[in-house]
Structure 1
Amino acid sequence: MIIPAIILSLVFASVGFLVTKNNARYILSGYNTMSAQQRELVDIDGYLRFFKQFHLFLGISVLILVIGISLFNTNFAAVILGIYPLPAYCYFVLKGDRYFPEINNRKIWTKVTVGILFLTMCGVGYLFFNGFKNSEILLEGNNLGEAGGFAFED
């Protein structure tokens, strides 16, 4: 569990350094599709500062949380590794929106993005916790089956 946490933490932290003012117009989602006039309205310096701080914090906090929790329960550490970045990115999208002007219903798309992230978080959480359930296998006579499921006959 520690190695995936280290790799994911390095990816998150490095993303903060990859996007700069010089390459933002090519790789920064949303900003890359704006016209030159719209880009002038964006506080790109403030946004890139926030972008870098967020990704550094996310990388460090993922590593600390997963290592700390894995000392007690590795299954819960795996859940944290899979789910924690999703609400963090909800925060990132909501707070990062203030650096961009109101262009083409941006506020609505911000809410849609946060909604999709929230639904994804719920789905991933359901899959994790459903995967941790104990399976019951019943053997009755010549039938082998799962409790509450179908019986397989010989």
Structure 2
Amino acid sequence: MLLEGSCHCGSVKFQAESLYPYPFNLCYCSICRKTAGGGGFAINISADSNSLKTEGKENISIYHAETKGKKSPGQRNFCKHCASALWVYDPRWPEFVYLFASAIDSDLPIPPEKSHIMLGSKANWVEVEAKPNDKCFLEYPEESIAQWHERLNLIK
């Protein structure tokens, strides 16, 4: 599925192909919460990094999160004008780019279930609104984004 997105002010536009377009992983870690907001969680969608096309690259800044004194190799791309979170690229998984669902302008499919991840580091004021078939994890699940889509027969 071709996903198209942009920042809030329109300085950055992008598109990428995704085999796994369902926005199902809600991350409650402090990094996602503080850099992307979104009700205390952020949703990342896996896309093919080779297909990423960007308009307005000069308007993008990159942030490397630091936890416990260790700098992450993950590159959090955001608009340097309006601060919209756009995507994360991590050289440890060079074939993927993780688009923030909040920046996607295309209609996204509604997931049949969601995974609430990194609940062990969510803020105390955040209420998790998990539905009966949702999965909840204190950290990361063992199931990958691709495996989740395959298990639910959602790959077209």
TM-score range, shorter chain: under 0.3
Task: Give the structure with the larger strand fraction.
Answer: 2
Structure with higher RCO (Cα < 8 A, 6+ apart):
2
TM-score, length-scaled by structure 2: 0.22
TM-score, length-scaled by structure 1: 0.22
Task: Give the structure with the larger helix fraction.
Answer: 1
Larger radius of gyration: 1
